Amino acid sequence: MSESNTPSSTPKDKLIADIKQIVADADALLQATADQAGEKVAGLRTRLEANLKVASGRLAEFAAADVDKTRQDLRDALQKISDAANQAAEAASEAAQKAEDSVKKATESGKEAAQHAAEAARDAANKALNAITEMARKTKDAINK
């Protein structure tokens, strides 16, 4: 089974494989007819060689552009993930602050247990915030690589 007929290939992959096979076949034809004489054959060989060089170059350019586009799409996706993580971190921080403020109000009325709960809530919120911040940092680092 040729590369262009594998079930997991995309149409673009199949096209690239087909073009590579055409280039290889044309090159083989040039090699096989190298000893043929005549003006028509010589002219055809010259044109075919030139067209093969151009086609090979364009195929390489296409492949490089496709890789660059894929990389940029990945960077964009990672940036969106990083932005979402930062928003989540900000929301967690705000929630922790509100919880702490509520508990402080309760502790002012003399409830010692509420003070302990406030400290525990603050510690938990800070841990969550640190974890989210670290995830955002790692995501940004991955984008910049």
Cβ within 8 Å of residue 86, ≥6 positions away: 136
- Smallest CA-to-CA distance from 140 within 85, 89, 103, 93 is with 85
Mean pLDDT of 43-72: 80
Domain tally, the chain? 1
- Is the pLDDT at 18 greater than 60? The verdict is yes
In a domain, 22, yes or no: no
Q: Is residue 5 part of a domain?
A: no
User: Which tokens go with 144?
Assistant: 């910049």
Structural domain contains residue 88: yes
Distance CA 14, CA 74 (A): 23
Query: Is residue 93 in some structural domain?
Result: yes
Domain that residue 108 falls in: 36-144
Distance CA 115, CA 61 (A): 66
Q: Is residue 10 part of a domain?
A: no
Residue 17 inside a domain? The answer is no
pLDDT score at 111: 63
* Residue 102 placed within a domain: yes
| Range ranked top by mean pLDDT from 72-76, 104-108, 109-113 | 72-76
Q: How far apart are the first and last CA of the chain?
A: 38
Helix (H) or strand (E) holding 111: none
Least confident range of 19-28, 39-48, 67-76, 107-116: 107-116
| Share of residues in the chain with pLDDT > 70 (%) | 86
Task: Return the pLDDT at 4.
Answer: 44
